[in-house]
């Protein structure tokens, strides 16, 4: 990558304007791909990529990202700061041009940024257009400048708000709930992106804090790609030192690092201008070609033992390989379904030449390591041949043909795949009930004994030797292995995983999903794989019984049962019964859920409920009430020790409430909490109920009998207690607890059952999840468990 000279000017004249911003809010998906969680996170990437561009140009080394409680995000860097002088063509400050004009920025001026990121290149203006509000603070020229926008429109002029002895840009924005299907950011998704950026940009530090989950992380890797590969191989035994090189041709820079380990999984990650190219592209093709050519050339031309003189194919050369390939180029062309495939044809030959030359140089200079690598890949070639012979042997013996179906399979009478169903069940007990309860005309049953092999950790030839997997492959009849699967021969177009509702059942289901994802991805893509939804509860009253799928459905069933008998009466006589009572209790359930979520913020339930029943004047917003001190006085009147404080640093200014109750329970909250979904949603419900009932006190009545006075936040538990009276509620752990008639009626009868169809929304993301949670490496699983353990409501052990 060409270095940008330190005296290169970065002023308003560096900002090139291509077009306006008019259509972004009308068709947001055209600019950010979608309005689901992918598009939501893309907003953060666009802003962070601008800060990374400053780091790539040599002007920044630290980025700070904060996810706030109200789902707003602050991204700050210590770069030069967006120019604030007047743009000569637009007659506006340059920062306002950048924020309000599509395709306006320094990236289109080749003297300002030689290389830049950004997936679609639409820039921060699109983030601004799709945000409820965006505030930009620029530290530059010894001053601190600030401007606020709402849905892309400036609502304040750019103004100086203070002095600054540092430089940089801070952007805070809140995604517009009118635009996005979801407004919940994922710490996991963003962490993955920030980690990659830190690896790819040596010397860059990214500090990340999620105020909702209280997760914190710092990403900084001085080792660059070498460190990246070392961490990819964490938990595996590398068989040689890491090979890492950088090279440049014209304006294109190529960096790569590789290491073989003792495992057999291929893990090759590719990037273009810091963007993860999940679908590969020309740089990946060049790398694969160079690796195979270099290994074959070295094997044939070196004085290795004759037994190692094998001809390799591409898969052999990559078994057990961890590699990262990164290219940086001025004008990347992204293509593919998700716009993450590099299309620049010139990159293929350039990467191939550089990687080939560097690998040959390494092989010839390091004969000991080279021999270990050759032994590894030749062993892979022989294992591939052994797997082919094993598959041929199995086929010749008829074990994979229709004539030799597994003995444990209770097949169906129909030979029409489009109407035939295969239920994969757990154990002989459930298998017995399923066989007796099924419709034999079109439903087949295959019981599996114990937990099947984890194919994520097993070579293909070993997998074929597993009896349970062999029985499953044979029953399906579509063949197995690359180049041998033919879904036209598939004997069932509904393959249904039906396991118990306990932890063992979940584990077996996961092992089966791993098997299908790794060996039969096309079967999933065609919509042939399903998961049965057996009931979790049986609710009985005398001779009447109902089957309930989950906890939420049980609540709904119980409330519906008593809705005609119970009434809740407000202080003014307002009554809730029947359908109104169902809706009323559903609102209280939502309040309870938000209260549980607030526990992660250290907000005690009693404190949360006091928040909701405040005495805010109707003519003030909650934020006005908090910032003007009214809320502080209200809490003090309830006996809390409470303070409103303002904290300011080089990044931004924040207002906080610190609250302590008589039990010594302490919480410090950013006041934006009161603009968050966690607070606003239940607060609006409580305000509506209080207005209707003229108070917080209620009477619970069953028919004409008064059951007692009750406060609003206790109603839910009392109603559920009444609803459970006289009922026998059984929680199922296993399918074997149901008799054949019950299993048919609840889980197998097409007229009553619920099936979940398995799909692959993002193949590369699914690949990463299976590798992380089902692979050989312990550390990624441990990290996942540690991050998610506290969010569990129930633990089945």
Same domain, 242 and 141: no
Would you say residue 197 lies in a domain? no
Angle between helices 578-598 and 605-612 in degrees, nearest 10:
120
Last residue of a domain, one of 126, 154, 182: 182
Buried b vs exposed e over 279-307: b needs ≥16 C-beta within 10 Å? bbbbbbbbbbbbbbbbbbebbeeeebeee
pLDDT at 109: 46
CB atoms near residue 401 (< 10 Å): 15
Question: Annotated catalytic sites, by residue?
Answer: 426, 500, 502, 504
Take residue 563 and report the two structure tokens written for it.
Answer: 């809705």
Label residue 174 left, alpha or beta by phi (over 0 means left) and psi (-120 to 50 means alpha). Answer: beta
Would you say residue 205 lies in a domain? no
Q: How many domains does the chain contain in total?
A: 4
Cβ contact 226:245 at 8 Å: no
Would you say residue 195 lies in a domain? no
Same domain, 448 and 487: yes
Looking at the DSSP bridge assignments, the partners of residue 445 are 410, 423
pLDDT at 227: 93
Provide the residue range defining the domain that includes 155: 12-182
CATH number for 258: 3.30.230.10
Would you say residue 207 lies in a domain? no
Of 203, 207, 227, 228, residue with least CA distance to 217 = 207
Same domain, 726 and 753: no
Of 61, 319, 258, 244, residue with least CA distance to 167 = 61
CATH number for 149: 3.30.565.10
Residues 683, 689, 693, 698: what is their CA dihedral angle, to the nearest 10 degrees?
A: -90
pLDDT at 2: 41
Of 326, 495, 490, 511, residue with least CA distance to 421 = 495
Same domain, 102 and 238: no
Same domain, 87 and 147: yes
Take residue 722 and report the two structure tokens written for it.
Answer: 């009444």
Same domain, 311 and 434: no
Same domain, 609 and 752: no
Separation CA 465–CA 456 (nearest Å): 15
Cβ contact 288:270 at 8 Å: no
Same domain, 382 and 273: yes
pTM: 0.80
Separation CA 120–CA 125 (nearest Å): 12
Would you say residue 190 lies in a domain? no
Residues 295, 366, 246, 316: what is their CA dihedral angle, to the nearest 10 degrees?
A: 20
Last residue of a domain, one of 340, 364, 391: 391
Residues 304, 308, 311, 312: what is their CA dihedral angle, to the nearest 10 degrees?
A: -100
pLDDT at 1: 40
Residues of the chain with pLDDT under 50: 1-7, 18-19, 107-114, 118-121, 397-400, 402, 766, 781, 785-786, 789-797
pLDDT at 403: 52
Please, which residues have CB within 8 angstroms of residue 795's CB and are 6 or more apart in sequence?
none
Pairing of strands 421-426, 443-448: parallel
Q: How do residues 581-630 score in pLDDT, each as one tens digit? A: 999 999 999 999 999 989 888 898 989 999 998 888 888 889 899 999 99
Separation CA 472–CA 450 (nearest Å): 14
Cβ contact 230:301 at 8 Å: no
Q: Which residue has the tokens 């070993």?
A: 462
Same domain, 765 and 725: no
CB atoms near residue 514 (< 10 Å): 21
Separation CA 9–CA 32 (nearest Å): 31
Of 149, 194, 187, 168, residue with least CA distance to 24 = 149
Same domain, 481 and 418: yes
Would you say residue 187 lies in a domain? no
Label residue 482 left, alpha or beta by phi (over 0 means left) and psi (-120 to 50 means alpha). Answer: beta
CATH number for 752: 3.40.50.670
Last residue of a domain, one of 731, 751, 782: 731
Looking at the DSSP bridge assignments, the partners of residue 701 are 567, 706
Would you say residue 544 lies in a domain? no
Would you say residue 212 lies in a domain? no
Q: What count of residues does the chain have?
A: 797
Same domain, 582 and 710: yes
Same domain, 60 and 151: yes
């Amino acid at each position: 990558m060409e270095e940008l000279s330190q005296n290169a000017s970065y002023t308003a004249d560096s900002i090139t304007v291509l077009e306006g911003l008019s259509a972004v809010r009308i068709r947001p998906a055209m600019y950010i791909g979608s309005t689901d969680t992918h598009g939501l996170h893309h907003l953060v990437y666009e802003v962070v990529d601008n800060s990374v561009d400053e780091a790539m140009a040599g002007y920044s080394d630290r980025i700070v990202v904060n996810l706030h409680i109200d789902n707003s995000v602050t991204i700050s860097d210590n770069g030069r700061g967006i120019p604030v002088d007047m743009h000569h063509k637009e007659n506006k400050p340059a920062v306002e041009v950048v924020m309000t004009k599509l395709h306006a920025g320094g990236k289109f001026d080749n003297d300002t940024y030689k290389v830049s990121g950004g997936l679609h290149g639409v820039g921060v203006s699109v983030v601004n257009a799709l945000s409820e509000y965006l505030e930009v603070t620029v530290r530059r020229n010894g001053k601190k400048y600030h401007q606020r926008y709402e849905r892309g429109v400036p609502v304040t002029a750019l103004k100086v708000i203070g002095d600054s002895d540092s430089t940089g840009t801070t952007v805070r924005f809140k995604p517009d709930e009118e635009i996005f299907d979801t407004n919940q950011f994922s710490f996991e998704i963003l962490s993955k992106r920030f980690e990659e950026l830190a690896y790819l940009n040596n010397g860059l530090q990214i500090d990340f804090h999620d105020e909702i989950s209280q997760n914190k992380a710092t990403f900084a890797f001085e080792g660059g790609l070498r460190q990246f590969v070392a961490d990819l191989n964490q938990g595996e035994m590398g068989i040689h030192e890491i090979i890492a090189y950088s090279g440049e041709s014209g304006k294109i820079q190529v960096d790569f690092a590789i290491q073989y380990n003792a495992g057999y999984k291929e893990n090759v990650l590719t990037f273009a201008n810091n963007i993860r190219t999940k679908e590969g592209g020309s740089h990946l093709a060049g790398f694969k070609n160079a690796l195979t050519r270099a290994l074959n050339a070295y094997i044939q031309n070196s004085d290795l033992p004759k037994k190692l003189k094998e001809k390799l194919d591409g898969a052999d050369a990559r078994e057990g390989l961890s590699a990262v390939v990164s290219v940086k180029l001025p004008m990347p062309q992204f293509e593919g379904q998700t716009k993450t495939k590099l299309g620049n044809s010139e990159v293929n030959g350039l990467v191939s030449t550089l990687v080939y030359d560097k690998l040959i140089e390494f092989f010839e200079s390091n004969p000991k390591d080279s021999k270990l690598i050759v032994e590894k890949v030749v062993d892979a070639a022989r294992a591939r041949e052994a797997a082919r012979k094993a598959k041929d042997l199995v086929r010749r013996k008829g074990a994979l043909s229709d004539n030799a179906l597994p003995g444990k399979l209770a097949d169906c009478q129909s030979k029409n795949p489009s109407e035939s169903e295969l239920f994969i069940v757990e154990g002989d007990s459930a298998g017995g009930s399923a066989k007796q309860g099924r419709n034999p005309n079109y439903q087949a049953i295959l019981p599996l004994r114990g937990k099947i092999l984890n194919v994520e950790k097993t070579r293909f030839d070993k997998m074929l030797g597993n009896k349970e997997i062999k029985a499953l492959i044979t029953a399906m009849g579509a063949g197995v292995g690359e180049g041998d699967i033919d879904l036209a021969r598939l004997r069932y177009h509904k393959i249904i995983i039906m396991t118990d509702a306990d932890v063992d059942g979940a584990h077996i289901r996961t092992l089966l999903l791993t098997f299908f994802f790794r060996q039969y991805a096309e079967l999933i893509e065609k919509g042939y794989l399903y998961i049965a939804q057996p009931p979790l509860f049986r609710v009985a009253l005398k001779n009447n019984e109902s089957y309930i799928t989950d906890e939420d459905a049980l609540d709904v069933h119980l409330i519906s049962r008593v809705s005609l008998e119970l009434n809740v009466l407000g202080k003014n006589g307002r009554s809730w019964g029947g359908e109104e009572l169902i809706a009323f209790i559903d609102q209280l359930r939502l309040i309870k859920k938000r209260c549980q979520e607030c526990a992660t913020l250290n907000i005690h339930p009693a404190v949360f409920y006091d928040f909701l029943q405040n005495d805010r004047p109707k003519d003030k917003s909650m934020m006005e009430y908090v910032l003007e001190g009214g809320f502080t006085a209200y809490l003090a009147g309830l006996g809390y020790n409470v303070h409103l404080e303002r904290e300011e640093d080089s990044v931004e200014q924040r207002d906080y409430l610190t609250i302590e109750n008589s039990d010594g329970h302490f919480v410090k909250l950013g006041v934006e909490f009161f603009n968050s979904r966690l607070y606003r949603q239940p607060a609006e419900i409580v305000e509506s109920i209080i207005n209707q009932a003229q108070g917080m006190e209620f009477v619970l009545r069953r028919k004409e009998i008064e059951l007692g006075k009750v406060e609003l936040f206790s109603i839910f538990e009392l109603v559920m207690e009444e609803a459970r009276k006289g009922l026998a509620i059984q929680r199922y752990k296993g399918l074997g607890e149901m008799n054949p008639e019950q299993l048919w009626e609840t889980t197998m009868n097409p007229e009553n059952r619920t099936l979940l169809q398995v799909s692959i929304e993002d193949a590369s993301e699914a690949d990463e999840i299976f590798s992380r949670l089902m692979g050989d490496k312990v550390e990624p699983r441990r990290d996942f468990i540690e991050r998610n353990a506290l969010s569990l409501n129930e633990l089945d052990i």
